[in-house]
């Protein structure tokens, strides 16, 4: 076991762990931040997306050692008091069905809009195409991203 320090949603956390423990399980088991979901465990589905130093990453595919002294944002830390504008757009478009994939979807969409405030449909498809939704909410996700773009302009 080794000691690691990560900054999660603005707060430093000391974690005692083996070096190869995936960040996903550090978040869920050690820090009880269960908004980040386990889907495939292979880096394919996108249910576990978080932001690592501002970039979207699949937390099942990065180890605690790779996160040492880095900043992590999870869905719980996206906004402190009121819904983040992307979450608000999700609410207004009634995007979720079962909801399981949606934290990962929102984290990917947020990272996209941070990098590219006015993405084309092709950009949206390229980025969001790697986040799977077994309920098929893709059309509502796209509508919500367009609504979020409008919110951001206001």
Which residues contact ligand FES (rule: CB under 6 A)?
38-41, 43-48, 58, 60, 96-102, 133-135, 137
**Nearest approach, Cβ of residue 48 and ligand FES (Å):** 3
Does residue 111 sit in helix, strand or coil?
helix
Q: Which is nearer to ligand FES, 47 or 113 (CB)?
A: 47
Query: Is 54 in contact with 65 (CB distance < 8 Å)?
Result: no
Distances in whole angstroms, Cα of residue 73 to Cα of each of 45, 107, 122 = 19, 9, 26
DSSP state of 63: B
Q: How far apart are CA 34 and CA 55, in angstroms?
A: 20
Q: Which is nearer to ligand FES, 2 or 134 (CB)?
A: 134
**Nearest approach, Cβ of residue 108 and ligand FES (Å):** 11
Q: Which is nearer to ligand FES, 74 or 137 (CB)?
A: 137
Tokens of 76: 């719980």
DSSP state of 99: -
Q: How many CB atoms lie within 10 A of CB 38?
A: 16
Q: How many CB atoms lie within 10 A of CB 32?
A: 8
Q: Which is nearer to ligand FES, 45 or 149 (CB)?
A: 45
Q: Which is nearer to ligand FES, 5 or 98 (CB)?
A: 98
């Amino acid at each position: 076991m080794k000691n690691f320090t990560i900054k999660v949603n603005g707060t430093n956390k000391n974690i005692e762990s083996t070096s190869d423990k995936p960040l996903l399980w550090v978040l869920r088991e050690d820090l009880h931040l269960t908004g980040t979901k386990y889907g495939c465990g292979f880096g394919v589905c996108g249910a576990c997306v978080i932001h690592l130093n501002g970039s979207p990453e699949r937390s099942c595919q990065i180890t605690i050692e790779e996160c040492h002294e880095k900043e992590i944002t999870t869905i719980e830390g996206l906004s402190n008091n009121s819904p983040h504008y992307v979450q608000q757009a999700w609410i207004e478009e009634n995007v979720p069905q079962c909801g399981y994939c949606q934290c990962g979807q929102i984290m990917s969409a947020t990272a996209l809009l941070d990098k590219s405030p006015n993405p084309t449909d092709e950009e949206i498809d390229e980025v969001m195409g790697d986040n799977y939704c077994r309920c098929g909410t893709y059309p509502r996700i796209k509508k919500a991203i367009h609504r979020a773009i409008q919110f951001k302009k206001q």
